[in-house]
């Protein structure tokens, strides 16, 4: 849920930034809308998924440690063109 929320937030920020200056041509807004329509049409054509899906619940009960770990992983997940390893070392010499 955390990653999905972050992706939705990043998408909304990108849309707002792209359409902020109304004096420019509406090309970016049109491109974003076209991509949205293209993706929707693609999934309608190629996806065999029908109906709704809900993940199974764990039978062992609630784990606050697991929830915290998942929340932490969601906050740290890479969403875009960020470096593979943020604090990586220099390349090894041959």
pLDDT per residue as tens digits for the range 62-88: 788 888 898 888 888 877 765 665 665
17-31 average pLDDT score: 70
- The span from the CA of 31 to the CA of 10, in Å, is 17
pTM of the shown model: 0.37
Residue boundaries of the structural domains of the chain:
1-47
The Cβ of residue 28 has, within 10 Å, a number of other Cβ atoms equal to: 16
Give the rounded percent of residues in the chain with a pLDDT score beyond 90: 0
In sign, the C-alpha dihedral spanning 17, 4, 83, 67 is positive
């Amino acid at each position: 849920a955390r990653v999905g929320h972050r992706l939705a937030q990043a998408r909304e920020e990108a849309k707002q930034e792209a359409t902020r200056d109304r004096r420019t041509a509406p090309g970016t807004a049109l491109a974003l809308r076209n991509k949205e329509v293209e993706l929707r049409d693609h999934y309608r054509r190629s996806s065999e998924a029908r109906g709704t899906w809900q993940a199974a619940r764990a039978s062992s009960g609630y784990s606050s440690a697991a929830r915290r770990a998942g929340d932490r992983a969601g906050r740290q997940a890479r969403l875009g063109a960020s470096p593979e390893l943020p604090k990586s070392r220099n390349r090894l010499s041959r």
